[in-house]
């Protein structure tokens, strides 16, 4: 399905990408059924708090240096702006930048507003955001309340565009519309694609690097420099001006397949900027595939092959040492689908046996129409791996960990590693998206795992003292007994 | 709170899920959107002194995760199913159903669903905490109201000396466990039996004792007045409302004398307790006085940008005990208008006729803009939240985070209450002054 820039909003992942949040099976079954479109979601009759689109949308957009966010919502929907501000400061620190607070205002909707509407408050808030922050663009993020009461945000912004001379864009990210919080990234990218990106004036040697906080900024700049390319880190820590020129770039690459699909394919469809549809650059196979994709898109195949050979030779002996040390360890992975299916491969490269992979959702296909490359790669390998999909449902995950009792639990997204630790399992949470980036990243990550299994005192002590919040009854059940039948 | 807000310092009514989690083995069950829980505990917990999920918080909190289907067809069925299974899956003693905006707008009959469980003898109560109804502080009061109305039972007997202590809002105040413990300690030292429901080792046992108390002690500028009034109506328990969080010798002495007098205790014992604490307190202050007085760096003027507990409590301490002078104080917890006048009065009532300007606003951007326009002589001390770190850098002030959000601090059992708490605050303030140039 092509990305529709004429539409005011991006369709949610359930309808656009066939995304599901409930599944229990194996990677081979998952991929084969996804490929023939016979996979349906399974709902749960019990659930725990997960996450929503608005968090992803406004968290991501608030990282743009000179943009402002107006959240048209009750004040609680802006709660994540505190994390946004904290994470933004971390990114500023690693860049040696002076700190700022993010530009974020909430319209603070009240009970009265739910009855009479609050478009006047929104109008005032947008004006105030322009006055306070002098931003180069203003994004208005929606909420469950603004969505349900039917606030006409687009008309308000159209009217205001006469008096405020910067792009004003709605970002439709109502929490109730999707169980897949990554739909919020698409909402953010849809706004960037439709309101910020301008048609190209020239073609450049730049590469759009879609990521989160850009922890490996220097390494990537150095790698791309070898191919006479220059990265533009999208979207946090970039400027509106930089984003507006993404159409001029030579290619788009992404650290995460889930994150990159919408913008990468959108730029390709609209402006012919090739999107590299490869494995993600975690570990050696991922980096090989990612760099080769980039080389092909930019005509730098030979330079890329030279670099790959050099780097692989450089890490061979160290990788062997690590594999020896990690031999025999068993791990469970719990991450978003792109990271999850890529990290299973990373762990295998490090000699760790992955006994289960849980992902927080699964896209049956990306915006370019094919099943995710990382999932296909896993399903092509000889061994089949047990796989489940849950929107971070801890009751399901802990039931599973309690039965599998792995040596390691590797996660991404806060809020699960702590529980595995309480069960006495050495846990590593991948907070930095560049944790196992490429060849050197694989080595660094390997040492991190070795550290994690070398001293497990915190996990052991906690598990000896702490009671889990689940009944014995639940822990003795089949962990997937609350998954209902597939529905269309 | 109808105006727009930049730099939030509280969240919405549903944030009261954290007040439920503050009661040992109580669990909130959210009838709300999929992201409400994560956003709220992030702001009140993780990014506020690194208060994590604990026993059953974070992604363990049961939630209906309302989708379009429930918005269109209603969410009663989904809620019933979620409560039913939460009772089977989660090992807890009290289940508190909290609604979010979506359910409150759509008009699910949550009361009816919960009553089915109550009629079956299950420990389930509910509060309608749709985010648009108010702040998490308002929500905290709603949760307590729900527990008072739907859970607590009248007691045949009153236990002499038993005092329920109600004060800071758990999680909103990152120092809540330490602060409540310190209040408990002080009250027990003068001969009363304190009963606090929030924090480790208390839980339903403490909650069940609430109706037996001789009186309720509310140590708060305004939060909780509604609850102690309800307890008086329902159980006939009288209450003492002490409006200042006691920090330092002047206010803590006053606090202990007021409580002692109200409870009819022997004043000699109270004076002994005060004297013992003051001796110890002044031992440390005397010892550090050289540095407090004889360096060129110390701030003379302070600003608080904090909730009413800290703006008032800290101002009293810094003015009445530490010899500092106030600039404007910004009160950020959306104090309801009927309580503002009384709080403002307190800011006119420091030693030697000193008074302070007060601004009630939950718009941090507005507060900071006002502060940027103040002409300071010397470097000011800014006691606020992590939002003030950039401001302090810009105006060359000393900054310490004491009020939500404290994303820049890890808080375990530290308290700023009483004599001990005052010493901690002095340590924290003057350590940052000394670290600033080294």
Cα–Cα nearest to A286, from A257, A322, A260, A243: A257
Considering only CB atoms, A145 lies closest to which of B38, B101, B387, namely B101
Which positions ≥6 away from A187 have C-beta within 8 Å?
A9, A10, A53, A56, A57, A171, A172, A173
Distance from CA of A395 to the nearest CA of B (A): 7
Q: In the prediction, which pLDDT does A1 show?
A: 58
Tens place of pLDDT per residue across chain A (488 aa): 589 989 999 999 999 999 999 999 999 999 999 988 789 999 999 999 999 999 999 999 999 999 999 999 999 999 999 999 999 999 999 999 999 999 999 999 999 999 999 999 999 999 999 999 999 999 999 999 999 999 999 999 999 999 999 999 999 999 999 999 999 999 999 999 999 999 999 999 999 999 999 999 999 999 999 999 999 999 999 999 999 999 999 999 999 999 999 999 999 999 999 999 999 999 999 999 999 999 999 999 999 999 999 999 999 999 999 999 999 999 999 999 999 999 999 999 999 999 999 999 999 999 999 999 999 999 999 999 999 999 999 999 999 999 999 999 999 998 999 999 999 999 999 999 999 999 999 999 999 999 999 999 999 999 999 999 999 999 999 999 999 988 75
C-alpha to C-alpha distances, A166 to A263, A267, B239, B438, nearest whole angstrom: 21, 22, 56, 44
Question: B30 — contact with chain A (CB < 8 Å)?
Answer: yes
| Residues 336 through 395 of chain B touching chain A, CB cutoff 8 Å | 365, 369, 386-387, 389-390, 393
Question: Helix, strand or coil for residue A79?
Answer: coil
Contact B225, B173 (CB under 8 A): no
What is the phi-psi region of residue A237: left when phi exceeds 0, alpha when psi lies from -120 to 50, beta otherwise? Answer: left
Q: In terms of residues, how long is chain A?
A: 488
CB atoms within 10 A of CB B276: 12
Parallel, antiparallel or unpaired: strands A41-44 and A483-487: antiparallel
CA A36 vs CA A112, A144, A259, B348: distances in Å: 49, 34, 24, 74
The 3-state DSSP class for residue B4 equals coil
List, in sequence order, the alpha helices (H) in B151-266: 176-189, 203-209, 225-235, 249-263
Range list of β-strands (E), A340-405: 353-359, 386-390
Tokens of A283: 């570990």
Residues 6+ apart with CB under 8 A from B92: A469, B25, B26, B27, B56
Task: Check if B396 contacts A (Cβ < 8 Å).
Answer: no
Angle in degrees, CA B293, B425, B23, rounded to 5: 170
Mean pLDDT of chain A: 97
- When the candidates are 2.30.40.10, 3.20.20.450, 2.60.40.10, 3.40.50.1980, the CATH number that belongs to A53-196 is 3.40.50.1980
Taking a contact as any Cβ pair under 8 Å apart, which residues of chain A between 120 and 179 contact chain B?
Answer: 121, 124-125, 128, 132, 143-145, 148-149, 175-179
Label residue B134 left, alpha or beta by phi (over 0 means left) and psi (-120 to 50 means alpha).
left
Considering only the beta carbons, identify the residue of A49, A132, A414 that sits closest to B37: A49
Partners of residue B331 on adjacent β-strands: B306, B360
- At B299 the pLDDT is 86
Contacts of B29 in chain A (CB under 8 A): none
Give, as one character, the DSSP assignment of residue A282.
Answer: B
Q: Which of B10, B67, B92 sits opposite A469 (nearest CB)?
A: B92
Cα–Cα distance measured from residue B64 to residue B100, given in angstroms and rounded to the nearest whole number = 10
Give the pLDDT of residue A487. 72
For B361-419, give the DSSP string: -S-HHHHHHHHHTS--SSPPEEEE-TTHHHHHHHHT-EEEE-SS--TT---SS---SHH
Cβ atoms B66, A176 nearer than 8 A: yes
Question: Domain B162-263 carries which CATH code?
Answer: 3.40.50.1980
Q: Which chain B residues contact residue A335 at CB under 8 A?
A: none
Q: Reply yes or no: is the peptide bond before residue B405 cis, omega within 30 of 0.
A: yes
Buried b (16+ CB within 10 A) or exposed e, A376-405: bbbbeeeeebbbbbbbbbbbbbbbbbbebe
Query: Are the Cβ atoms of A75 and B11 closer than 8 angstroms?
Result: yes
Which of B41, B61, B28 shows the shortest CA–CA distance to A419?
B61
Taking only residues 416 to 445 of chain A, the set having a beta carbon closer than 8 angstroms to any beta carbon of chain B reads 416, 418-419
Check residue B338 and report its DSSP letter: H
Mean pLDDT to the nearest integer, B248-261: 98
B287-436 and B13-150 share a CATH fold: yes
Using a CB–CB cutoff of 8 Å, tell me whether A101 touches chain B. Answer: yes
Q: What is d(CA B66, CA A176) in angstroms, rounded to the nearest whole number?
A: 6
| Facing A47 at nearest CB: one of B38, B56, B65 | B65
pLDDT one-digit tens code per residue, B204-221: 999 999 999 999 999 999
Token representation of residue A452: 């994690």
- Quote the tokens at residue B162: 């038993």
The pLDDT tens digits for B362-396 are 999 999 999 999 999 899 999 999 999 999 999 99
CATH number belonging to domain B287-436: 3.40.50.1980
Residue B1 pLDDT grade (very low, low, confident, very high; cuts 50, 70, 90): very low
Residue A189 CB contacts under 8 Å (≥ 6 apart), including other chains: A10, A262, A263, A266
Give long-range contacts, CB 8 A cutoff, 24+ apart: A448-454.
Answer: A449/A326, A449/A329, A449/A350, A449/A352, A449/A408, A449/A410, A450/A322, A450/A325, A450/A326, A452/A408, A452/A426, A452/A427, A452/A428, A453/A326, A453/A329, A453/A407, A453/A408, A453/A426
Look at the block and give the residue holding tokens 């702040």. Answer: B135
Q: Environment class of residue A179 by beta-carbon count within 10 Å: exposed (0-12), middle (13-18) or buried (19+)?
A: buried
Average pLDDT over residues B293-301: 81
Helical packing angle, A301-326 and A438-454, nearest 10°: 10
A317-487 shares the fold of A53-196? yes
Whether B88 sits inside 8 A of A473 (CB atoms) is: yes
Residues of A in contact with B90 (CB under 8 A): 469-471, 474
Task: Say which residue the tokens 């590469």 belong to.
Answer: A207
**What percentage of chain B has pLDDT greater than the value 90?**
95
In this predicted structure, the answer to whether residue B295 has a pLDDT above a threshold of 80 is no
Going A175 to A176 to A181 to A186, the CA torsion angle's sign is negative
| Residues of chain A positioned with their CB less than 8 A from the CB of B130 | 74, 111
Cα–Cα distance between A24 and A35 in angstroms, integer?
17
CATH 3.40.50.1980 fits B13-150, yes or no: yes
Within 13 Å and on the Cβ side, how many CA atoms surround A366?
A: 26
**Residue B86 has what DSSP assignment?**
H
Yes or no, beta carbons of A49 and B10 under 8 Å apart? no
The CATH code that applies to domain A317-487 is 3.40.50.1980
What residues contact A355, with CB distance under 8 A and at least 6 apart? A330, A331, A332, A385, A386, A404, A406
Q: Are strands B325-331 and B358-360 parallel, antiparallel or unpaired?
A: parallel
Count how many pairs of residues, chain A against chain B, have C-beta atoms within 8 Å: 236
CA angle A413, A417, A423 (to 5 degrees): 160
Which of B238, B260, B291 lies closest to B426 in space, CA to CA?
B291
Contacts of B133 in chain A (CB under 8 A): 110-111
- Please tell me the predicted confidence (pLDDT) of residue A292: 98
Domain ranges of chain A: 53-196, 317-487
Query: Is the pTM value of this prediction over 0.95?
Result: yes
- Contact yes or no for A418 and B390 at CB 8 A: no
Counting runs of H as helices and runs of E as strands, what totals does chain B give? 17, 13
Distance CA B184, CA B178 (A): 10
Contact A86 B407 (CB under 8 A): yes
User: What mean pLDDT is predicted for residues B277-293?
Assistant: 93
Q: Which of A298, A355, A363, A350 is nearest to A319 (CA)?
A: A350
What part of A 60-99 touches B (C-beta under 8 Å)? 74-83, 85-86, 98-99
B85 touches chain A (CB under 8 A): yes
CA angle A480, B97, A415 (to 5 degrees): 50
Determine the angle formed by the axes of helices B267-294 and B249-263, rounding to 10 degrees. 170
Domain residue extents for chain B: 13-150, 162-263, 287-436
What is the rounded distance in angstroms from the CA atom of residue B428 to the CA atom of residue B400?
8
Q: Which residues of A touch B53 (CB under 8 A)?
A: 415, 418
Exposure pattern of A420-450 as b/e (b: 16+ CB <10 Å)?
A: bbbbbbbbbbbbbbbbbbbbbbbbebbeebe
Partner-chain contact A473 B60, CB within 8 Å: no
CA angle in degrees (0–180, nearest 5) for A467-A472-A474: 110
Facing A50 at nearest CB: one of B6, B65, B405: B65
Q: How far is CA A143 from CA A78, B14, B143, B203, B244, in A?
A: 10, 15, 24, 35, 37
Distance from CA of A131 to the nearest CA of B (A): 12
> How does DSSP classify residue A48?
B
What backbone torsions phi and psi does residue A351 show, to the nearest 5 degrees?
Answer: 90, 10
What six digits make up the tokens of A326?
């990690």
Supply the DSSP symbol for A163: T
Cα B155 to Cα B118, B203, B212, B213: the distances in Å are 20, 18, 6, 9
Residue A211 has which token pair?
Answer: 């990521």
Residue B70 host element (H or E): helix B68-73
Mutate to test the interface with A, among B16, B38, B41 (most CBs of A within 10 A): B38
Is the alpha carbon torsion for A204, A210, A213, A219 positive or negative? Answer: negative
């Amino acid at each position: 399905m092509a990305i529709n820039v004429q539409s005011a909003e991006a369709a949610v992942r359930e309808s656009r990408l066939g995304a599901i949040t409930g599944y229990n099976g194996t990677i081979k079954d998952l991929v084969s059924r996804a490929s023939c479109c016979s996979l349906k979601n399974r709902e749960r009759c019990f659930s725990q708090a997960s996450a929503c689109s608005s968090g992803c949308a406004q968290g991501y957009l608030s990282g743009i240096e000179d943009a402002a966010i107006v959240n048209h919502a009750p004040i609680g929907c802006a709660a994540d702006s505190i994390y946004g501000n904290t994470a933004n400061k971390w990114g500023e620190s690693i860049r040696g930048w002076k700190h700022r607070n993010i530009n974020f205002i909430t319209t603070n909707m009240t009970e009265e507003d739910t009855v009479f509407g609050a478009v006047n408050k929104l109008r005032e808030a947008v004006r105030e955001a322009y006055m306070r922050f002098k931003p180069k663009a203003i994004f208005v993020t929606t909420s469950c309340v603004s969505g349900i009461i039917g606030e006409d945000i687009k008309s308000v912004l159209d009217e205001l565009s006469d008096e405020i001379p910067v792009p004003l864009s709605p970002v439709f990210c109502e929490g109730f519309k999707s169980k897949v919080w990554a739909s919020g990234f698409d909402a953010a990218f849809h706004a960037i694609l439709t309101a910020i990106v301008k048609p190209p004036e020239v073609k450049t040697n730049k590469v759009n690097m879609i990521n989160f906080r850009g922890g490996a900024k220097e390494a990537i700049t150095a790698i791309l420099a070898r191919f006479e390319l220059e990265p533009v880190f999208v979207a946090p820590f970039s400027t509106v001006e930089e984003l507006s020129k993404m159409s001029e770039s030579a290619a788009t690459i992404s650290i995460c397949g889930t994150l990159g699909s919408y913008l990468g394919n959108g730029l390709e469809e609209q402006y012919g900027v090739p999107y590299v549809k490869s494995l993600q650059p975690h570990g050696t196979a991922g980096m090989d595939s990612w760099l080769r994709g980039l080389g092909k898109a930019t005509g730098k195949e030979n330079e890329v092959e030279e670099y790959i050979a050099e780097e692989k030779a450089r890490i061979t002996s160290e990788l062997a040492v690590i594999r020896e040390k990690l031999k025999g360890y068993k791990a469970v992975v719990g991450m978003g689908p792109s990271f999850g299916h890529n990290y299973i491969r990373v762990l295998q490269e490090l000699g760790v046996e992955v006994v289960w992979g849980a992902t927080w959702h699964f896209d049956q296909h990306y915006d370019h129409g094919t099943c995710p490359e990382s999932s296909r790669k896993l399903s092509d390998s000889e061994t089949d791996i047990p796989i489940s999909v849950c929107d971070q449902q801890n009751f399901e995950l802990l039931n599973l960990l309690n039965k599998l009792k792995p040596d390691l639990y590797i996660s991404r997204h806060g809020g699960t590693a702590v529980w595995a630790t309480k069960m006495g399992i050495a846990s590593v949470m991948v907070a930095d998206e560049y944790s196992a980036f490429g060849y050197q990243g694989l080595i660094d990550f390997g040492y991190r795992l070795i550290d994690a299994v070398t001293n497990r005192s915190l996990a052991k002590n906690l598990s000896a003292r702490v009671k889990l919040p689940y009944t014995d009854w639940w822990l003795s059940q089949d962990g997937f007994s609350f998954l209902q039948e597939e529905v269309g | 709170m109808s105006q727009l807000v930049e730099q939030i310092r509280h969240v919405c009514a549903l944030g009261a899920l954290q007040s439920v989690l503050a009661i040992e083995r109580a669990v909130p069950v959210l009838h709300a959107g999929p992201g409400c829980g994560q956003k709220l505990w992030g702001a009140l917990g993780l990014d506020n002194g690194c208060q994590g999920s604990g026993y059953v918080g974070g992604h363990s909190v049961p939630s209906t995760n309302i989708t379009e289907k429930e918005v269109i067809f209603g969410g009663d069925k989904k809620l019933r199913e979620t409560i039913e299974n939460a009772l089977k899956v989660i090992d807890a003693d009290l289940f508190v159903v909290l609604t979010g905006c979506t359910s409150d707008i759509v008009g699910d009959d949550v009361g009816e669903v919960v009553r089915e469980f109550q009629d079956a003898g299950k420990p389930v109560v509910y509060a309608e905490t749709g985010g648009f109804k108010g702040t998490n502080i308002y929500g905290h009061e709603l949760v307590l109201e729900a527990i008072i109305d739907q859970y607590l039972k009248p007691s045949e007997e009153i236990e002499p000396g038993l005092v329920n202590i109600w004060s800071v809002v758990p999680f909103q105040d990152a120092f809540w466990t330490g602060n409540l413990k310190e209040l408990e300690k002080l009250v027990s030292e003068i001969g009363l039996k304190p009963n606090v429901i929030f924090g480790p080792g208390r839980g339903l046992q403490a909650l069940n004792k609430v109706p037996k108390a001789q009186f309720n002690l509310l140590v708060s500028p305004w939060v909780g007045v509604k609850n102690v009034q309800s307890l008086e109506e329902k159980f006939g328990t009288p209450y003492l409302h002490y409006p200042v969080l006691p920090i330092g010798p002047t206010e803590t002495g006053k606090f202990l004398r007021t409580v002692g007098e109200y409870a009819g205790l022997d004043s000699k014992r109270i004076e002994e307790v005060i004297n013992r604490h003051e001796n110890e307190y002044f031992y440390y202050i005397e010892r550090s006085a050289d540095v407090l007085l004889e360096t060129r760096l110390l701030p003379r003027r302070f600003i608080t940008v904090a909730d009413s507990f800290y703006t008032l409590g800290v101002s009293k301490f810094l003015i009445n005990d530490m010899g500092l002078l106030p600039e404007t104080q910004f009160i950020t917890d959306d104090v309801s208008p009927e309580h503002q006048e009384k709080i403002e009065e307190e800011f006119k009532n420091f030693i030697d006729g000193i008074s302070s300007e007060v601004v009630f606003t939950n718009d941090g951007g507005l507060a900071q803009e006002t502060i940027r326009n103040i002409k300071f002589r010397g470097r000011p001390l800014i006691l606020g939240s992590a939002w003030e770190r950039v401001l302090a850098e810009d105006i060359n002030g000393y900054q310490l985070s004491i009020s939500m959000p404290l994303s820049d601090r890890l808080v375990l059992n530290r308290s700023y209450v009483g004599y001990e708490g005052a010493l901690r605050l002095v340590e924290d303030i003057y350590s940052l002054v000394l670290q600033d140039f080294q």
